[in-house]
Structure 1
């Protein structure tokens, strides 16, 4: 066989002996865990002790070793990056330069650790200039992180190629993790720690030193919340409290801006942290162009070196509040997700505020202890040398003779140590027992140090060193003294570097809702029998004198009729009561806004009404907000009346809930908000009315039917209920189907017992028709009357004649043949009209 032939393969021999069998899933799992931990500990997460990731720590240490301090001249960034990469961080120059640049950005770091010179980027997202164009040096506050690193205060480890040593962590004279914050994404986890005010954090740390049992709430008396370098406002405090108590929270940050209605613009002066200004302006412009935001005429960026100034110029007549809310919803408010995750003993942990400060304090105690031990060793060594010098000075003649008569330096040192004897002819020399260090020092002494002044200085220095030794021993033996040193040093840093808070707190009024994006205005809402619904601005219908035909209010399809009309604000929450005894809840702005000549849209997606179900009454929830002692008083066609506390209507489902129980053939006719302290007036279709004390009707639940309110004759039925407050209301206003109406003084309706026949309210006949509505009114009220065909008439109640009860009234709205009044609503005029209303009232009173 040829000698070149391959050796026969033998299992278990040679390289095969080194092969180990392993399950692939176990190997993959362990390899991934090793990789994940490498990323977590070596790249992405900061250390709780100094608040730095390895790349930042190595940059600062490389600058320190190269002498690039705050007192030196600036050094080219490329030089710093090169030394960092070559000696400590072999992961590419771009990653190192990005970290260096961020430490120099005053809009990224609350207290920048690098003093940069040149273009290091901007809030517009502009990248830093190339590293060959920029220069940097350490900021003064960065040197506080490295202070005393040469005194064995922290552990060192070999760098990546074992040529040099690098610190595992920096001494960190202040809690940098909270002060400057940190962010990073590791494998399966991330951290996002906001920056804080240095003075507040130090005050909280001192509080924890003095009171180790302090709670998170106690520490929050000092740390109010994050303090972002870009300022802006934190909305509310609840999220901040949660973040400090649990280590996680979502903090809403809102831009600082002011609305100048005189100049018709909105000026933005501070942006949420890490918001890109250029992209913000671009997004606003896009939303203006696509119609998402309305009312903006122009956008200008007037920012300069002094700060941010973005001017949003409004169109003439635009609602500034609506535009402001639109900007808030889409652009001027962001969420900072706090994840206080850091490395503790090499393991990632989510920390509360107290735990973060406690971990820092443990580190700082270790640093100060190790520094004190180092300084104690140095002081004891110096004291030992000084003791030798003092002893030598006391025996200077013999010491000098011993050294002069020695054959060599080594012999002199040996003689001083007492290891040999030096012979002198004229006298016997004293023997000494100096230590080796003392002997070395004495032999190296200069003759000038033998003067009396030098001796005095040595004695003074020795006393000072002894005092220093005593102090260091005190610090090392007493934990309270060690904490006092830490506290003192922290307060010195606070005095040197602390500044005022930049980020303010504003009240949390809730997130911007769709309601905030809708201008608040009064509108007229029309509902038809076939469930078409719409809203129109109130000023679409100007007030007219009584007797007119009004104007078209809706375009009805063939066979459809108007069922109800009412006036409300776009921001009102309304309760819609139907003839079937159900109640629904809906915001007015959810009703589509359309023109007078539009038909409206199907209400099926807003109110789930059954066939034949119509809205018969509407109650504005602004009348009952925070009023637990008020009631909803309901009347039915068959004469029943019921009071139910408003508390029973707090949770109304989208499909509605039962408002009252109804007998077969009965329907809910009207609903009124009452307070239990005034009389009620019930009106019937045939012109009867009854007034009685509200207490005659006991409060009941929603599922109750109620009690008899009025005895009805023949086919008569109730059409309305109103509360009587003689200090607030002046008249009872009655409107009939054929468009007639009248005002009658409330005093003409004498109180009587419930379930009576009542008194004549209005004469009804073929001319004026049956009663369709009754309300109590006062000066300044406007009456809205809508016919079945869709005509709307608006008129001041003062235009309707005041007459007695037993009369037919006057024409309020002229009706076409076959048309009749479908719905009536009374609306109080706006405050802007109050003076005119009062003038009219005074004139009427004079007449």
Structure 2
């Protein structure tokens, strides 16, 4: 027992764990990099592949021999050379035999070897294997001392450190591998092009990359496909790695029209794409995306080749659908280059020029050693043949010496050397020679062989001594390989980039639907037929939920959804699933995720992102800003974005859309109303905070706001079920820094707040959530217009939980034809408002003037204005047209021009 303890103590390593781990992991990393994951630049093989080919070579499994069970080969490999699992070895064998993974497969496997659908191969006990024809070029010189042999894992066998290949396996078949801290990714290339480029470099070693690319156009994938744009190819060939550019590989397809239908027939798919997964992905798009005209997909592939058929309707926009599918599925993929290989026992990133140089250096070494080996054999044979010829001239003497020799073979050899001056090799061969070889016929044969050997020796020495002739010899070998294995290019390459030219609107069936949003985030899409055949009293909502928006919308439009935390999301109308009237609908979380406590405050339908309209936002603490519709456009619709930057104690109370010509009417919680022109609110980007837009006293805050015109009717409803209608003109212009007009006094106990507010020339509907979870509909025309300082009126209903004014909230395209009347109307409204504003300001300035003085001042002002030349209607329209022609979608500039226009005398007379 004490002895065991002493032995354990002796094995304790007195060192820090980090140093031990670093040293052990370093050794492990080196092993993985050199012996597992990265290929050797010379033969393009990883150790497992090299050992498989060597084991099959030892078993004699050349392409002209019968197949042998894969299990037998796997057993030899793992038993003699590769001490790892049988599954990894068999998987490597399967990969080497699959035509869709290698430019030229190295193995010929008989049986089920898998498929493009990623089906597994049959078990090794069922399949049979032998080497492909190309392996002749990889192993033919193996026995000629061309490469070094190293001991196997248990020193019981020898294995080659590299194969003596003259086949450019690394470039032709490519490779992939993940090591420690590095990886390799090399695509296949065309054999004929690689050999032609090699020949060009042998003839002109200083050839440039452009010169090489005249031969090697780019990758040549076994599954075909099309590459658009060669910038990525140039970068990959130059540096060995893609960083700035990409190689974009597309499937090959054609469009066929038949029987009032259109078909997209895919005949080639990108390299590395699983065919069944591609079909599945497209099928999912057909079932989940609302793509107009995209009907079905069928995989009709067979032994003759790939054929995936996508069926379209006769009216479908084929080009847009193809462009959409290319972007959304693996019909188009980006391929990466990362040419990391083992060169001189170290990992190195190499470009095309370096790879070809390493390949040429390897075949030069191999063929030099082969020629040297052959020369030695020729010289030895010539030596023996000359001995045979000499013996054929003196056969009797030689026989006499042999018969007279006492002893065995060694004595005969020694006596022959002493008697006739034969060399050891000659004497040994003569001693083993049969007597019938001394005939006259054999002497003539030896003379012919002598001449042939002398010629071979001379040629071989010439090749070894003359570099130019040696290079020509290599070129002849490479040309012979091209002749033996002609390989047409399978992947087409076009210099121009592919242009994706689809618009989402081209893929969606344009129709008008009804969309409803609730406060808790439930969204419904309803057909007009469903809306017409149902009553709002049966509209499904949760008990604590109420409607926030319901209106007609176009399926090619988008919704901007704004939240109280200053965020927004984009929901395309076509993505909203159609639901039943009595169903809750799809929750907002199916599109984007909101934080706990974050709620929808408003939604706006956007017809065109280039609309000149603005989004006006206001927060509870009185910060306002305007943002162009265009600034909210984003490419991804599965996340929220910042609409306005707010403080933690603040929140957004409303968001509205405006065309830039309106006023902004603001109501505070304490009942103060402020109104000023929208142009006074500054333009900011989505992430800005905005500026103070209203004067707040004590603990007052903004309750609601709405864009309004001078002749509009303003409708307000409170959270306790009261309504107020008044004319917008009753609220005079008030500067942002001044206290607004008090239009109601709020209660100190249980105060009420304005829950919704809208300004319009027409009457609107009010949708009211009742206590029994039903919805009642009321019209604003049932309520009279009151003065601004009149009290609210109770909404006619038995019970009241919440309500909102059903209004149209959209951002439209700029309509040039309507702009003339808008500017004329703006001139009139601005003129009246400015006159009122001037009077209010004058009346508020100290000292107070008498009534007669005020009237005199007003009379002077009006007379001064009356002296201005009156513009005719034609002149006013001409001025408006001039403004429209210089509009250029710059609403701010247009408003500035409008505000400088004071109107005409008729408007002054109306005021007077």
Superposition pairs for residues 733-744 of structure 1, below 5 Å?
Answer: none
Name the structure 2 match of 1:412: 412
C-alpha contact 1:88 1:166 (8 A) present in aligned 2: yes
Aligned 8 A contact 1:735 1:774 in 2: no
State the Cα distance separating 1:653 from its structure 2 match: 9.5
* Offset at residue 15 of structure 1 (A): 7.7
Picking from 68, 79, 87, the partner of 1:86 is: 79
Separation in structure 2 between the aligned mates of residue 402 and residue 39 of structure 1, nearest angstrom:
64
Residue in structure 2 matched with residue 476 of structure 1 by the alignment: 464
TM superposition shift of 1:165: 0.9
How far residue 98 of structure 1 moved from its aligned partner, in angstroms, is 0.5
Structure 2 counterpart of 1:334? 333
Q: Structure 1's 503 and 615: CA in aligned 2 closer, same or farther, altered over 3 A? A: farther
| 8 A contact 2:292–2:507 mirrored in 1 | no
Q: What's the CA shift for 1:770?
A: 7.5
Cα distance change of structure 1 residues 93 and 292 upon mapping to structure 2, 3 Å threshold: farther
- Alpha-carbon distance in structure 1 between the residues aligned to 2:222 and 2:874: 78
Query: What residue is the counterpart of 1:96 in the other structure?
Result: 89
Deviation at 1:295, TM superposition (A): 3.4
- Residues 213 and 737 of structure 1, relative CA distance in 2, 3 Å threshold: closer
Alpha-carbon spacing, 1:576–1:457, altered in 2? closer, same or farther (3 Å): farther
TM-score (norm 1): 0.62
Quick one: which of 764, 777, 780 aligns to 2:873?
764
Residue 68 (structure 1) shift: 1.2
Match of 1:463 in 2: 451
Where does residue 514 of structure 2 map in the other structure? none
Match of 2:560 in 1: none
Cα RMSD (Å) of the superposition? 4.5
Separation of aligned partners in 2, 1:104 and 1:29: 39
Residues 304 and 443 (structure 1), Cα distance of their counterparts in 2 relative to 1, 3 Å cut: same
- Match for residue 350 of structure 1? 349
The CA deviation at 1:505 is 1.7
In 1, Cα distance between the equivalents of 2:286 and 2:297? 10
Q: Deviations over 1:58-97 (max 9, x none)?
A: 1111111111111111111111111111111121111011
Q: Displacement of 1:145 after TM fit?
A: 1.1
Please give the alpha-carbon distance, in whole angstroms, between the structure 2 residues aligned to 1:319 and 1:9: 83
- The answer on whether the counterparts of 2:217 and 2:493 sit within 8 Å (CA) in structure 1 is no
- Does residue 1:495 correspond to 2:483, yes or no? yes
- Asked if the contact 1:108/1:229 (under 8 Å) is kept, the reply is yes
Give yes or no for contact 1:737–1:771 (8 Å, CA) kept in 2: no
Aligned pairs, how many?
583
User: What is aligned with 2:881?
Assistant: 773
Q: How does 1:484-633 map to 2 (within 5 A)?
A: 484-509=472-497, 512=500, 515=503, 518=506, 586=630
Distance of aligned partners of 1:336 and 1:575 in 2 relative to their CA distance in 1, 3 Å threshold: farther
TM-score (norm 2): 0.57
> What is the match of residue 242 of structure 1?
235
SS at match of 1:264: strand
Q: Provide the C-alpha distance between the structure 2 equivalents of 1:78 and 1:612, rounded to a whole number of angstroms.
A: 73
CA separation of 1:586 and 1:520: change in aligned 2, threshold 3 A: farther
The residue number in structure 2 matching 1:279 is 277
Residue 255 (structure 1) aligned with residue 251 (structure 2)? yes
Determine which of 145, 152, 164 is the counterpart of 1:159: 152
More helix by share: 2
What SS class does the counterpart of residue 381 from structure 1 fall into? helix
Q: Is the 8 A contact 2:185 2:340 kept in 1?
A: yes
Is 1:168 aligned to 2:161, yes or no? yes
Q: Specify which of 211, 214, 220 is matched with residue 221 of structure 1.
A: 214
Q: 1:36 — aligned with what?
A: 29
> Which residue matches 1:289?
287
After superposition, the Cα gap between the structure-2 partners of 1:387 and 1:289, relative to the gap in structure 1 and judged at 3 Å, is same
- The C-alpha deviation readout for 1:781-828, integer Å capped at 9, x for no partner, is xxxxxxxxxxxxxxxxxxxxxxxxxxxxxxxxxxxxx9xxxxxxxxxx
Residue 40 of structure 1: how far off its partner (Å): 1.0
Asked whether the 8 Å contact 1:182–1:194 carries over to 2, the reply is yes
- Judged with a 3 Å threshold, the aligned counterparts in structure 2 of structure 1 residues 654 and 265 are, in CA distance, closer, same or farther, namely farther
- State the Cα deviation string for residues 261-311 of structure 1 (Å, max 9, x = none): 553222211111111111111122222222265532111111111111111
CA distance in structure 1 between the aligned counterparts of 2:428 and 2:123, rounded to whole angstroms:
55
Cross-structure match for 1:115: 108
In structure 2, the CA distance between the partners of 1:144 and 1:655, relative to structure 1 (3 Å rule), is: same
Alpha-carbon distance in structure 1 between the residues aligned to 2:385 and 2:4: 77
Q: Tell me the alpha carbon deviations over residues 716-749 of structure 1, each in whole angstroms, 9 at most, x when there is no partner.
A: xxxxxxxxxxxxxxxx999667999xxxxxxxxx
From the superposition, tell whether residues 511 and 392 of structure 1 become closer, same or farther in structure 2 (CA, over 3 Å): same
1:301 maps to which residue? 299
Give the drift of 1:248. Answer: 0.9
Distance 1:390 1:333, change over 3 A: same
**2:43 match:** 50
How far residue 485 of structure 1 moved from its aligned partner, in angstroms, is 2.2
Deviation for aligned residue 1:407: 2.9
Quickly say closer, same or farther: Cα 1:738–1:53, change in 2 above 3 A. Answer: closer
CA distance in 1, matches of 2:237, 2:685: 37
Q: Does the 8 A contact of 1:764 with 1:771 survive in 2?
A: no
In structure 2, how many angstroms separate the alpha carbons of the residues matched to 1:435 and 1:603? 96
1:655 Cα deviation from its structure 2 partner = 10
- Residue 785 of structure 1 corresponds to none
Residue 318 (structure 1) aligns with? 316
Post-superposition Cα deviations, 1:88-126, rounded to whole Å, max 9, x if no partner, equal: 112111101101111111111111111111110011110
Cα gap change, 1:402 to 1:237, in 2 (>3 Å): same
Tell me the distance in 2 between the aligned counterparts of 1:378 and 1:448: 25
Is the CA contact (8 Å cut-off) linking 1:379 and 1:469 kept in structure 2?
yes
Partner of 1:369: 368
1:130-177 C-alpha deviation (Å, 9 max, x unpaired): 111111111111222112111111111111121211111111121100
Shift of 1:574: 8.7
Q: Secondary structure at the match of 1:46?
A: coil
Which position in structure 1 is the counterpart of 2:752? Answer: none
Contact 1:301 1:310 in 2 (8 A): yes
* 1:734–1:775 CA contact under 8 A, matched in 2: no
Task: Please list every run of 5 or more consecutive structure 1 residues that lacks an aligned counterpart in the other structure.
Answer: 419-430, 524-533, 539-565, 593-601, 617-651, 657-731, 741-759, 778-817, 819-847
Change beyond 3 A, Cα 1:460–1:738:
closer
Could you list the runs of 5+ residues in structure 2 that have no partner in the other structure? 512-551, 557-605, 616-625, 645-654, 662-683, 689-816, 826-868, 886-909
Q: CA deviation at 1:772?
A: 3.4
SS at structure 1 position matched to 2:71: helix
Could you tell me how far apart the structure 2 residues matched to 1:187 and 1:485 are? 41
Q: Which residue of 1 aligns with 2:262?
A: 264
Change (3 A) 1:773 1:157: same
Between the aligned partners of 1:24 and 1:81, the Cα distance in structure 2 is 39
Distance 1:495 1:585 in 2: 65
Offset, 1:27: 1.6
Aligned position for 2:98? 105
- How far does the alpha carbon of each residue in 1:205-247 deviate from its partner, in whole angstroms, 9 at most, with x for none? 1111111111222111111111111111112111111111111
Give the 3 Å change call, closer, same or farther, for CA 449–352 of structure 1 in structure 2.
Answer: same
Counterparts of 1:473 and 1:573 in 2: how far apart (Å)? 79
SS at match of 2:881: strand
Structure 2 CA distance for aligned equivalents of residues 394 and 591 of structure 1 = 95
Residue of structure 1 equivalent to 2:125: 132
Change (3 A) 1:160 1:735: closer
In structure 2, C-alpha distance between the alignment counterparts of 1:467 and 1:503, rounded to whole Å: 46
2:174–2:189 Cα contact (<8 Å) kept: yes
